[in-house]
Chains A and B, each alone.
Chain A
Amino acid sequence: MRTVEAIAAIPMHHGLVLAAILFALGMIGILARRNLVFILMSIEIMLNAAGLAFVVAGARWEQADGQVMLIFILAVAAAEVSVGLALLLLLYRRFQTLDADAVSKMRG
């Protein structure tokens, strides 16, 4: 069986459910975790969940757009991680902690 057919053999909702689970896991991670590194990782999981949904949808309608969007998402994620990690470094230098709740100086 060729790869395209192998992918087409998987029903779409399986892939979408997997994406939804990943997305929910990521969101729970953001809400529950206090360490900023884990929050960043959870964001990555959510982004990848969205990417997976795109790919699955692209495979369902046999369009390349889904994969194109995944590449966009990867690029965005890379940019986001680099900025995020730089911010984390600065935050750590300043507060000597990575607890998200401790860094609440910016309240209104």
Chain B
Amino acid sequence: MLSLLWLIPTLPLAGFLVLALGGKYLGHRSIAVIGTSSTALSALIAILIGMDFIAAPPPGFVFRQEAWSWIAVAGFSPGIGFYLDALSLVMVLVVTLISFLIHLYSTEFMSGDEDYARFFAYMNLFVGSMCILILADNLLFLYLGWEGVGLCSYLLIGFWYRDPANGRAARKAFIVTRIGDTAMAIGLFLLFTHLGTLDIQPLMQCAGQQWPEGEGLAILTAALLLAGAAGKSAQLPLQTWLPDAMAGPTPVSALMHAATMVTAGVYLIARTHVLFTLAPVVQHAVAVIGALTLLLAGFSALVQTDIKRVLAYSTISQIGYMFLALGVGAWSAAIFHLVTHAFFKALLFLSAGVVIMSLHEEHNIFRMGALRKKLPIVFWTFLIGSASLAALPLVTAGFYSKDLILWRAWSSAGGNPWLWAAGWGGAILTGLYIFRVVFLVFFGEARTAMPPGTARPGLRITLPLIVLAAFSLVGGWIETPPFLGNLTLFSSFVQHALPPAQAVHGEKNDETILELLAIAASLGGIALAYLLFLRYPAFLQGMMLIPAFARIREFWQSGWGFDRFYEFLFVRPYLWLAHADRRDVIDNIYKMALSCMLRWLQKVDPHDVINTIYNGLAGLCLFLHRALSATQSGQVRRYAAAIATGSIGILFIGIFA
């Protein structure tokens, strides 16, 4: 079974090829079947491989498969090879399963779109690239998948390319992540020149043996990889592309936020964790970036009016939690949160998609309301997703993963109370912003009449929602805190690939107290949302009349002014330079210098001696030119004669010289 590993990325890629080349000649039905079945099959294979892997683990909990050698030049020989261990198995299961559900959902959701085939072709390519990224056994192959998801995000964000704004959003996503990718590429160059290989496992071993902790090169390469990860995972300071990426169709957002793309950064850091443990400074920076990002994005999510933008900021914030966990060395906690987040964030996006669709492209949550009765299934699934995101205690998956992160942020060697406090504050914000959406959209009064004749979502939409909702509820029961049974199925499985986190500070009792505090935070957030947005909405409306509050709100809504800041710092100067150069500034400099020189020469040389030389040269050129052009008579036979004499001449030289 394990030997089928190569099929996991290959099937979606094959689906992409078929749809991209033959999509024009296929009907809607066959496009949907091809697009969905490719991901369904690779999910099935992933599940079978997973069962096989757990039932009869390969030696060392690692399975490698080398398909063929990709490049072999001067000692550099990355292969097309796949590497399966506990970490990549978990990732590939989540990615393929969620991708399949999203594809199934899209078959109905996108059914009215004229570019049906193009959509599924890109989606399949997206999934295939992500599987390559996850399963790659060397960093160059991983980078191929990395760039592949970047390309697909560009293609899919700008899917409705007729609106120039979508094109701008796509370009922004591409260019901003490119900054990180460039840093990562430089990191790879450095790793190769100093360690001589890019195969991940030998590379990590080599780094561990050759570099002491805190070695300058380790810090540099880890920092460069971190920049790449921050770009892909939309962390500070490269987070600005993600909210705009909402320009794409909703299933794309779901895929991008849950399974592919944004989790790539987290995966990269977990995969190269040895490098980060060698560079404690950078690892600490990861934690700080995560903590800051989760707070900033949480505040921004609080004031968005577009339902998808709320979810986008919440993704940034949740990825911040994962970075926080990575930064304090709680590798398995980060991956655990990645998994649960994938389930509930896909669920939230897909549910939001149905809401938007049934209100005919209405994105503004202030124009929704009282949808609880009209869309009962979506109400429940969105509620479950929100509860999981807000870490509602005991019943939701998000609770278990977020609690684990908070506890590690306090207790690990790299953790400290400040990081914990940031995460705790983030937990309150999370409950507040997501239940703000729940209360505004599903409760209260209807602010927009639902257009009559809106079809109820069909089975292909509701089924993925229900499956994801089930996962969002029970997905957390594989890892529970000590006072709730102390199950560690997930972390003990992932420990075959990632080192366990040690609790350094904090007693057993502390853990219980911190858990209770975390529970209080999420419940408090939800209660606050209930009070502010459902019970006493007038209070907030009154607050907004005060200019200072309105200004803060605007500031948060614009994502803490990062866009304006970058516009001022990079875009404007660049445009200014381009405009300046449009008038050929650099040319003018040369012109001025040259004309000064010529005028001086004129003074020195009144009798045109120099000119005569140049005229002579020009005359010679002209003569040679005429002589050569005379040979171009247009008469084929003369050409043939010339070729014949030429070859005979060369033969003579070859034989007799």
Give chain A's interface residues, CB within 8 Å of chain B. Answer: 27, 30-31, 34, 39, 100-101, 103-108
Say yes or no: A100 contacts B636, CB within 8 Å.
yes
Say yes or no: A31 contacts B633, CB within 8 Å.
no
Cβ-defined partner of A31 (8 Å) among B631, B632, B634, B640: B640
Additional pairs, 7, CB under 8 Å, beyond known A100-B635, A103-B634, A108-B631: A39-B637, A100-B636, A105-B634, A106-B634, A107-B632, A108-B632, A108-B634
A27 to B646, CA, bound (A): 13
Closest 9 A/B residue pairs (Cβ) = A108-B632, A107-B634, A104-B634, A108-B629, A106-B634, A30-B640, A100-B636, A104-B635, A107-B633
Say yes or no: B629 contacts A31, CB within 8 Å.
no
Distance of B507 from chain A, by nearest CB (Å):
83
* Residues of chain B contacted by A107 (CB below 8 angstroms): 632-635
Distance of A51 from chain B, by nearest CB (Å):
18
* Residues of chain A contacted by B636 (CB below 8 angstroms): 39, 100, 103-104
* Nearest residue, chain B, Cβ from A105: B634
A60 to B503, CA, bound (A): 83
* Residues of chain A contacted by B629 (CB below 8 angstroms): 108
* Nearest residue, chain A, Cβ from B630: A108
A104 to B265, CA, bound (A): 65
Distance of A75 from chain B, by nearest CB (Å):
23
Say yes or no: A30 contacts B637, CB within 8 Å.
yes
A98 to B629, CA, bound (A): 25
Say yes or no: A31 contacts B635, CB within 8 Å.
no
* Residues of chain A contacted by B633 (CB below 8 angstroms): 104, 107
A103 to B382, CA, bound (A): 78
A105 to B632, CA, bound (A): 11
* Residues of chain B contacted by A108 (CB below 8 angstroms): 629, 631-632, 634
Can you list 7 A-B pairs with a CB-CB distance of less than 8 A?
A27-B644, A100-B635, A100-B637, A104-B636, A105-B634, A107-B635, A108-B629
Q: Which of B629, B635, B641 neighbours the largest number of chain A CB atoms within 10 Å of its CB? A: B635
* Residues of chain B contacted by A100 (CB below 8 angstroms): 635-637
Say yes or no: A101 contacts B635, CB within 8 Å.
yes
* Residues of chain A contacted by B631 (CB below 8 angstroms): 108
A106 to B638, CA, bound (A): 13
A31 to B643, CA, bound (A): 11
* Residues of chain A contacted by B640 (CB below 8 angstroms): 27, 30-31
Distance of B632 from chain A, by nearest CB (Å):
3
A34 to B629, CA, bound (A): 23
A104 to B633, CA, bound (A): 7
Say yes or no: A101 contacts B632, CB within 8 Å.
no
Distance of A95 from chain B, by nearest CB (Å):
13
Distance of B639 from chain A, by nearest CB (Å):
10
Distance of B174 from chain A, by nearest CB (Å):
44
* Nearest residue, chain B, Cβ from A28: B644
Distance of B383 from chain A, by nearest CB (Å):
70
Cβ-defined partner of B641 (8 Å) among A31, A101, A106: A31
* Nearest residue, chain A, Cβ from B636: A100
A72 to B637, CA, bound (A): 26
* Residues of chain B contacted by A39 (CB below 8 angstroms): 636-637
A1 to B484, CA, bound (A): 96
* Nearest residue, chain A, Cβ from B648: A27
Distance of A45 from chain B, by nearest CB (Å):
14
A39 to B638, CA, bound (A): 13
* Residues of chain A contacted by B637 (CB below 8 angstroms): 30-31, 34, 39, 100-101
A38 to B92, CA, bound (A): 68
A27 to B641, CA, bound (A): 9
* Residues of chain A contacted by B632 (CB below 8 angstroms): 107-108
A96 to B634, CA, bound (A): 18
Distance of B144 from chain A, by nearest CB (Å):
37
Q: 0/1 per residue, B326-344, Cβ < 8 Å to A?
A: 0000000000000000000
* Nearest residue, chain B, Cβ from A101: B635
A34 to B638, CA, bound (A): 11
Distance of B411 from chain A, by nearest CB (Å):
74
A108 to B632, CA, bound (A): 5
Distance of B644 from chain A, by nearest CB (Å):
6
A41 to B499, CA, bound (A): 78
* Residues of chain A contacted by B635 (CB below 8 angstroms): 100-101, 104, 107
* Nearest residue, chain A, Cβ from B631: A108
